[in-house]
Structure 1
Amino acid sequence: MTFLDTAIGDIVDLTNGSVRTRFEPPEYGEKLNRTVASASLRSTINYLGFYVVDHLWIYSPEDVAQTITRGQRERNCLRMAERAAPSQTAEIGYHAYKNLLNFTELHGLTAETKQRVVHGIRSLPWMDDAMKLRVVNRVRKIAVELFPRSLLSVVSVAGLARSFRLEHSSALDLYQRTVELRFTSDIRNSLTNNGTQLYRSLFSRHIQLDRKGVLHVPIALVKPSVGGDNGALDPTPYVALLRGTSLRMRLAKALLKAALGHSDDGGRKSLWTHKARRHFRVLEGCFRARFPVGLDQGTGMPNPPSTLTDEILEYVAVTLVHLDFRRGIQLLTNNATSDYRLADAQGWSSDQLFFVSYAQSLCHDSDKELASRGSCPAMKAQQDGA
């Protein structure tokens, strides 16, 4: 695939021959295909669902001289996803995969090379100013196809192109449908595969698959899966964030409430395991400590309790997703001491990085404390028996 491919040798002779500017990242398509095929779906979902949206911050019209407050970046990023044009979304999608594969910044590379070509053209003594201007304008108009159709066909799964018209779908929509279909296919076909451990999260076994193979996570009414506890996997409810091109933090909040048993119909069934519920309570306490006063930034008056709860739930939602993403990376790399280089390289804010690390340590301490409590009675019984 060619990202920048133009022949200007018929106009400009810089090297006594044709000059052909061609950028072709080595084995890009092969590596991308291998990454999509082998990476943890848990990591892919969280990566595309939140980090891609996080990049949409640069398209915010209000980002000039704007003070970023707590939780504002995450909410604004999600709003930007609804306003992004398909071309912008395609660019964001490219950057996500580019960062995942640690490729050089393509925009910087193309701009730098263009500038070198322009500088060479302007230094030619035999070309008059009018011709230089025409050639420079032609070079500057060179378009860089960030996501060519050949690459889109590489990342799509079998039959995906037939399910919807590619030319009328954004790249993010393609990613969502691709991941969704891959995920539902895997949880059907990989029950005995060791790789299924990558999909296990903090959540229990409640999933629903419709006839088209689309994964549904019920919010108001939770029904146990047909396979029961022994026959089903436990994907995170955040898969539901992939149900549409509009990724809403409010949906994450609703999922959290449903997971905790606060469903709208008054039901008390919970999606989460006891361990997940304990982790949530630990994180909730952490973020409540972050809002000691809860003043409204516009009026300076205290926020209503419901507003404060919503903000805390949103923070906890984002943090749980980041924790799950980190866990997926650790499982994928078989490295329990992963330093989370991906998060650092992705340009997440220091605020996000700090609270993800802090939240992970809190959950780890909570697990250790619970384990020690459970071991104390056993040790005492052992000593009594001796």
Structure 2
Amino acid sequence: MLLLYFCLLGHVLSGLSWAAPAGEDDLNQDTPYIKELLRHAKAAEIESFMDQKADPCNDFYSFACGNYKRINSAENLNVSATGLLYTVLEGLDRKVLKMLTTVNDTHETPEDIQVKHFYKSCLRIKELNATYTERLKQLIAEFGTMPVLEGSSWQEEDFDWLGTTARIAFRYGVRSVFTAEVNTDLANNQMNRIYVGEQNFPLETRSMYMDNATAIYREDYRNNIQRVLHRFLGVEQKLAKQTAREIVDFEVDLAQGLVDQSEGFDFSELTELLTVSEVQERYSPTLDVDRLIFVSLGERVSDTIYEYNERYQQNLVKVIKRTPKRTMANYIFYNLVKHFVKTPADKTKKQKRDCLDVTKEFFFKNLDNMFYRRYNNEKSSRAIKDMWRQLKATFNETLHTSPALDWIERPTRNLAIAKLQAMRLQVSNYAEVNFTEEFANLDLQSADYVENVRQIMLEEARRSRELLRKPAKPLETDESASFTPANALTENIIKMPVAMLQPFYIWADGYPNSVMFGNLASLIGHELIHGFDDSGRKFDAKGNSNDWWDEKSSRNFLKRRDCFTKQYGKYVFDGIQLKESLLQAENIADNGGMRLAYTAYRTWYESQLTLPNGRLNLANELLPKLQYSANQLFFISFAQSFCQDVDPKLKAFQVFSDTHVPDELRVIGTLSNHDEFSKEFNCPSGSHMNPVQKCIIY
């Protein structure tokens, strides 16, 4: 159930691009020589990515990023994608691997040691060979029998699908088909509440299950299930293939009830606060909501609960009636065992990479905290916080005085100002987490991967159940928070990943502000604007779901949003026509974040002119051997934040599963709406990058 209200900057695939400087941990940025060396290196990098023969007024992405693919080919590097955030992630991963493999690290805590044990158990997974299948079958046996393993002896009349999935959810936190779970009440983030509704879907969106263009991904998914059934459960190949097809067909049937992201529904439209008996009455006898909650959470409740996405439950009732119990049983038990399956890689390097990924999946908070304790850089923290203050002050001034925002009525503008004033930026170092308490019931050892996963899932399920009787805690995202900035709408906090503390990728002492405002400030500005986009504007200063906009301002917002819907709906990527989506949060944040960063940069620039040595210092706003003005470097730097190459097989996946448009369209769409960009590059009115009609909200 997708209830984590985070607005993330980028979608995670995995990959790397250019390598960070050798010895980056020890490089002293304070000397004039090193600063000048860094400026030359940054200039060379910027120039190498560009195709300066391309017309910036026709296609600025090609102008700024035209050579990027040649240098950072995903195919040549054998990765899913390359780009700035993947480069930042790769730098983080190198350091995390070093931490996990260092013996007798003086920084490590007992909890760090357990995380290292888990990583080692993954590396030793081949040692489980003879017992792996038996261990998985023992997990299944805790809850019954799996038809594909039992054959004709499986007794259909003995299978209770709802009871089985609820018992698995209680014990291991694995929720299939129809779920009950505890999360923060988005309308009152001081308390937790039960949500009932859809499971999480591996392919994520309705389009990935329904569209012809995404059939190849469903086929890959089927093949993976077939491989797991055959290799790890010992199912004969032909039967494994048939069962995998039945499992995916059932999941596709379930996905008919999902809401398409292009419909643009917000939380209040997808949830309804009801008593258990009211939800029970809607779907009885097919869906026994009362028993689902009782078995999944271990207690009966009298409080009201949220039903999430009524459309899913309505579809589920029909699907249950027409689906053989054998198929449902195979589906539920496969969803259980897949969490314990890890295929050992043939090559040591890939095995380390795979085991790092699974360690991050379970312990990203621990790893980020370990990184922070070892690599925290005060200069980087200060640079990020200084930029945040400048962006916040700039947007505050805009809300107070800009005629461009006169479409927002003054009382609503005042509430927006109050929300901005309450908004905070926080580096996700997890220093406040009590890891000793979280690991109190764990005894992770380096010899048994399956047992380690079992312990972790038992503990996570226990803590999840206990949330119902505890004060609400901040919502958690996943391992992408380690390198992707996010706006936690329910906290009104922008969370900056620890990976951004690494020098040289997007900031360094010697880099011009024109470059750092173009990338780093635009990243932060993107997240700030998320607090006021089509989803974020429905959350107030305290982070509660609460529509605080007056009717006239709201109508004006929707009219302006419609401009973005039409603009981005006309774009084509890799031969795929983008949908006209009502959900424009990411495009609004891209546009508003870049515009805010540019305004903040120009404010800073003008302030330097009044200082005694200001004009001299502004010479540093240019880069050696690059014949571009400071303003032009801002826009080039912004565009190069989105230079990317994606494996061709994943391009359709990117279109249909990501709320962001493909990166080249993020550049073209955003800059073509900005008059100052057109002015700096002398783009004639009516050119591709300077259309007559522009879309502007903030």
Q: Give the shorter-chain TM-score range.
A: under 0.3
Give TM-score, length-normalised by structure 1: 0.28
